[in-house]
Every structure is written in structure tokens, then in C-alpha cells.
């Protein structure tokens, strides 16, 4: 009556236990392994039929069924078990040594599917993924803060005339660090963004207001101290600063809820506000009552900064490369632009990039301090000799000449014209309307479109008649 005979429906054959004699009444175990893998979905009920037709004393009196998943053992029990595990199993449970119990447990966890093994497998996979992520991140040296040097007040600013010894700290007119805090860089960083700091959030939201409305709620955005101009809307400034720090009323961005110090959400709130989206048209009455628009009776009409003027032109032309990060790039510059000012370095004989770097965003442009890119300087970009918080805003003929003749804007005009022809349809009016929307961000009004179409037709007729054009 071999165990293999337990399978199938062979009359007169099967697996039986010889339990009619008391001496042979021992625990029996039968391990069955499928010939091929069996996929069992979750929440599946397995039906097992056991038919017992043996003689008296040969049937199973009490039995238990167990199912295990995973790889089968290397052979039938006990032959497939390691020698140490076999020896441990041969010893009564109560008599096993700690090492024997450990051998059995380790073999079970390593070769038999069980919740512990599944958890360990998931843990090992997570650790492997974390290590792979860490290995993919670039590493950099960090400076270890050493013992600070002694610092002294210099009498009349002369380095060889020391006064009182001083330590790190904050200006007396500002809130102090919490008592017992070590005055190091981490403490300074936490102090800067502390809810009790009255300056950080106000300064930042005021600069963003200036960025979109032309003038900050405090006109002197570089100075919010005693000699600053009083805010035009002090309660609004306080509310904006509080919302920026707390994020309770800021809108979600791309489906992600806003949080404290969320810059993108704050900027979205500004540009979707009624004050920003109102008409820029002005009446004589409004102009007389509020010539500088400090009361926000109309939307601002301000020129974009020089860097963004270039970026907007490239974006409308479909040329702007939106790649983020990386080293500085070299867009087009006039020949010999830095030959006279670059005694050292690699800017003499400047050569522009010919690949994607030529049309990267302006913020990635290589910059020589005291001699910035000429076109950006024309549009009031600072030369970076000193920190400039608030830029001046001018309108000059040179700016118009640069937009008409500078190579970057000529290439942008060609790219925009190509988009108008390819994407704008077959009619001149639809092409012009498409180009208008790409450049301005809205469809043209009827009178605007009529004027542009008339100008196009007039220029086309003139060029057609001029054979040398």
C-alpha cells in the first residue's frame, strides 16, 4: 500500500495505515506535490475529496489538511531535508535544543511559504529599491562646521583695533532666537521661517505682488524697515503673509493640495484673483483719482523683464527648450561681445551653442559679472555687480531695434511664421488669428484681426510688385 497509490481511482489499491495493532498506531503524514504549478486566486475555496475503503483499523481516525504555497521541498520528507533538520525533527519537541529549534525554524522560513517569509521578501525588495534609489542620487561633499573663530568689534572699522568680543546672534531690533538655542546655521534657518518672524513672509509676498502688479504693496520692496513707504493695503499684506505661511486658503496646483510656504499655490492665487484679471482699460476719472494705480482700479500694464521677453518669443515660436537644470548655456550673442572685458576665462571668442542650449530659458544663460548679455541689459536687467532687489523699468528706441534686428528674435519670428502656416489653416485670416493667440494668449478682436489682415495684404502686394524684394 504505497503512498503513490493514494492518487487515482484504482479499485483495490490505495494508501492505508496499519493501525489495527496498538503498537502501530503512530502519526502518519502524506505530502503531495502537483506535477505542474497550480495558480489559486485569492478568496478561492478548494474542495478535497477523501474516499476511505480500507479494512477495519486501516482508515484515518483523525486527520488534518494543510496547504502550502511556494517552491516544493527538494524531495520527499524526510529525504529532502538537510541532515541537521532531519536530526532535529527526530527529537521530541520538548527535548530539542535551542540550536535544533533554530534549524527547523530557519528551514521553514526559507523554503515554505508563510506570512513571515512573504513579509521578509517584501522587506528585502523594499530595501533593494531604496538602496538602488540612493545609489542613483548624486553625492556631494558637505562642509563640517568647525570651532568658530573669535570675533571682535573693530574700532572705527580698523582691523588692528579690536574692541569687545562678540558672538553669533541676531540684530537687536528683530525677535531673538528661542532661549537655550545654539546660535548656528540650522537655528538661523528655522528662525527665518518661524511663524513669529514678521519679515520673511511679508518681504516675499510683497515682491511677488510687485512682480505681477508692477508695484509692491510696499513700494520700496528693497526696504521694509523704518524708512520704507507705508503699505498701500496693510491688512492685505498681513493676510497674504499669513496665508503664505499657513496655506489654508491657497488653491491646489495640478490636483495637489497646497501647504505652508507653497510658492506655486500662492502665485496661482495672485494670477487668478479679480484684481489681476480685471480690465487694464482706464477712464479719465480713474486716471485722475489713481494715476499710479495704487488702489488697483484696473489691471496693470507693465513690460516683462528682459529674460522673460526672450523666453516668451521663443515659446510662441515653438523653439523654447523646457529642460530644467544643468550647466550654463550659450545662446546667440553679438560677435566679440566679451573680447575686451574677458582677460581670463573662456568667454573670449564667444561661440554660441548650436544644439538645444541655443534656445534654453534665459535663466540658464552664461553670465559675466559687470558685463551681462547686451539685450537683457537693454531691458533693464542688472549687471550683477551689486544685489538689485527692484529693477527700473524703461522704454527706449534701442529696445525696439533689438526686437526687430537681434538674431534670436529673427529666429523666433521665423519659427512663429512657420507655426502659423503649418497649424493655422489655409486662409490668411485663420493663420493670423492663430499667430495672435500664440503671441498674446487670447484670440484677436474683430477690429484687431481686420487691421492685421489688411496690413498683411498690403505688404504682400508690395513685395509681389517689387521684383527685387
27 vs 437: which has the higher pLDDT: 437
Kindly report, residue by residue over 232-265, the tens digit of the pLDDT: 999 999 999 999 999 989 999 999 999 999 999 9
Q: Of 29-43, 46-60, 248-262, where does mean pLDDT reach its minimum?
A: 46-60
- Is residue 77 classed as helix, strand or coil in its secondary structure? coil
CB atoms under 10 Å from CB of 83, counted, come to: 9
**pLDDT (0 to 100) of residue 365:** 92
Angle between helices 263-271 and 200-213 (to 10 degrees): 40
**pLDDT (0 to 100) of residue 348:** 81
**pLDDT (0 to 100) of residue 469:** 67
**Residue 301 phi, psi dihedral angles, 5° rounding:** -125, 95
Kindly report, residue by residue over 129-162, the tens digit of the pLDDT: 999 999 898 877 776 777 888 999 999 989 899 9
**pLDDT (0 to 100) of residue 309:** 94
Grid cell locating 131: 538602496
301-335: burial string, b at 16+ Cβ within 10 Å, e else: eeeebbbebbbebbbbbebbeeeeeeeebbbbbee
Q: What share of the chain is helix, strand, coil (3-state, %, to 5)?
A: 40, 5, 55
Residue 90 scores a pLDDT above 50: yes
Return d(Cα 114, Cα 136) in angstroms, integer. 33
Return d(Cα 147, Cα 145) in angstroms, integer. 7
**pLDDT (0 to 100) of residue 75:** 44
Most confident of 25-29, 97-101, 369-373: 97-101
**pLDDT (0 to 100) of residue 246:** 92
**pLDDT (0 to 100) of residue 72:** 54
Residue 67 scores a pLDDT above 80: no
Q: Of 203-217, 234-248, 381-395, where does mean pLDDT reach its minimum?
A: 381-395
Grid cell locating 229: 513707504
Of 242, 236, 219, the C-alpha closest to 273 is 236
Q: Of 235-244, 363-372, 411-420, where does mean pLDDT reach its minimum?
A: 363-372
Q: Of 215-224, 269-278, 329-338, where does mean pLDDT reach its minimum?
A: 329-338
The residues, any chain, with a CB within 8 Å of residue 338's CB and separated by 6 or more, are: 347, 348, 350, 368, 371
How does DSSP assign 22-75, residue by residue? GGG----------SS-----TTPPP---------TT-S-SS-------SSPPSS
**pLDDT (0 to 100) of residue 71:** 59
**pLDDT (0 to 100) of residue 76:** 46
Residue 370 scores a pLDDT above 80: no
Return d(Cα 150, Cα 167) in angstroms, integer. 8
pLDDT category at 74 given cuts 50, 70, 90 is: very low
**pLDDT (0 to 100) of residue 179:** 86
pLDDT category at 10 given cuts 50, 70, 90 is: low
37 vs 334: which has the higher pLDDT: 334
Give mean pLDDT, residues 186-213.
91
**pLDDT (0 to 100) of residue 408:** 94
pTM of the model: 0.63
Residue 52 scores a pLDDT above 80: no
Q: Of 56-65, 118-127, 223-232, 309-318, where does mean pLDDT reach its minimum?
A: 56-65
Give mean pLDDT, residues 75-97.
78
Average pLDDT over the chain, rounded to an integer: 87
Give mean pLDDT, residues 389-417.
93
Kindly report, residue by residue over 116-125, the tens digit of the pLDDT: 888 888 999 9
Return d(Cα 47, Cα 434) in angstroms, integer. 69
Amino acid at each position: 500500500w504505497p503512498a503513490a497509490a493514494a492518487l487515482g481511482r484504482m479499485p483495490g489499491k490505495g494508501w492505508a495505515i496499519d493501525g489495527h495493532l496498538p503498537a502501530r498506531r503512530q502519526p502518519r503524514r502524506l505530502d503531495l506535490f502537483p506535477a505542474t504549478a497550480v495558480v489559486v486566486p485569492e478568496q478561492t475555496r478548494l474542495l478535497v475529496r477523501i474516499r476511505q475503503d480500507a479494512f477495519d483499523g486501516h482508515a484515518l481516525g483523525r486527520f488534518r489538511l494543510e496547504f502550502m504555497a511556494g517552491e516544493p521541498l527538494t524531495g520527499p520528507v524526510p529525504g529532502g531535508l538537510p541532515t541537521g533538520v532531519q536530526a532535529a525533527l527526530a527529537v521530541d519537541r520538548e527535548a530539542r535544543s535551542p540550536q535544533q529549534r533554530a534549524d527547523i525554524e530557519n528551514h521553514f522560513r526559507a523554503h515554505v511559504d508563510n506570512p513571515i517569509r512573504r513579509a521578509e521578501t517584501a522587506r528585502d525588495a523594499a530595501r533593494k529599491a531604496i538602496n538602488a534609489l540612493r545609489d542613483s542620487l548624486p553625492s556631494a561633499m558637505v562642509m563640517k562646521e568647525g570651532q568658530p573663530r573669535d570675533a571682535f568689534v573693530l574700532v572705527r572699522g580698523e582691523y588692528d583695533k579690536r574692541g569687545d568680543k562678540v558672538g553669533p546672534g541676531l540684530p537687536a531690533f528683530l525677535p531673538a532666537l528661542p532661549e537655550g538655542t545654539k546660535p548656528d546655521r540650522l537655528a538661523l534657518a528655522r528662525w527665518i521661517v518661524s511663524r513669529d518672524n514678521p519679515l520673511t513672509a511679508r518681504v516675499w509676498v510683497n515682491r511677488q505682488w510687485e512682480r505681477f502688479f508692477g508695484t509692491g504693496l510696499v513700494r520700496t520692496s528693497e526696504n521694509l524697515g523704518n524708512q520704507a513707504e507705508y503699505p498701500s493695503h496693510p491688512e492685505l499684506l498681513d493676510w497674504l503673509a499669513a496665508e503664505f505661511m499657513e496655506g489654508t486658503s491657497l488653491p491646489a496646483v495640478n490636483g495637489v493640495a497646497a501647504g505652508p510656504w507653497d510658492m506655486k499655490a500662492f502665485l496661482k492665487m495672485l494670477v487668478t484673483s479679480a484684481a489681476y484679471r480685471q480690465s487694464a482699460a482706464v477712464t479719465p476719472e480713474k486716471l485722475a483719482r489713481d494715476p499710479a494705480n495704487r488702489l488697483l482700479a484696473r489691471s496693470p500694464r507693465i513690460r516683462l523683464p528682459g529674460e522673460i521677453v526672450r523666453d516668451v518669443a521663443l515659446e510662441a515660436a515653438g523653439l523654447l527648450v523646457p529642460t530644467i537644470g544643468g550647466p550654463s548655456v550659450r545662446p546667440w550673442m553679438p560677435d566679440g561681445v566679451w573680447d575686451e572685458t574677458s582677460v581670463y576665462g573662456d568667454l573670449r571668442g564667444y561661440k554660441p551653442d548650436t544644439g538645444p542650449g541655443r534656445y534654453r530659458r534665459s535663466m540658464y544663460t552664461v553670465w559675466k559679472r559687470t558685463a551681462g548679455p547686451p539685450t537683457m541689459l537693454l531691458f533693464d536687467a542688472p549687471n550683477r555687480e551689486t544685489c538689485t532687489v527692484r529693477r527700473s523699468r524703461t522704454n527706449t528706441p534701442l529696445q525696439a531695434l533689438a526686437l526687430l534686428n537681434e538674431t534670436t528674435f529673427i529666429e523666433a519670428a521665423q519659427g512663429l511664421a512657420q507655426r502659423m502656416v503649418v497649424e493655422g489653416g489655409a486662409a490668411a485670416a485663420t493663420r493670423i488669428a492663430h499667430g495672435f493667440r500664440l503671441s498674446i494668449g487670447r484670440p484677436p478682436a474683430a477690429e484687431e484681426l481686420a487691421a492685421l489682415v489688411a496690413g498683411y495684404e498690403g505688404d504682400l502686394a508690395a513685395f509681389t510688385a517689387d521684383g527685387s524684394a
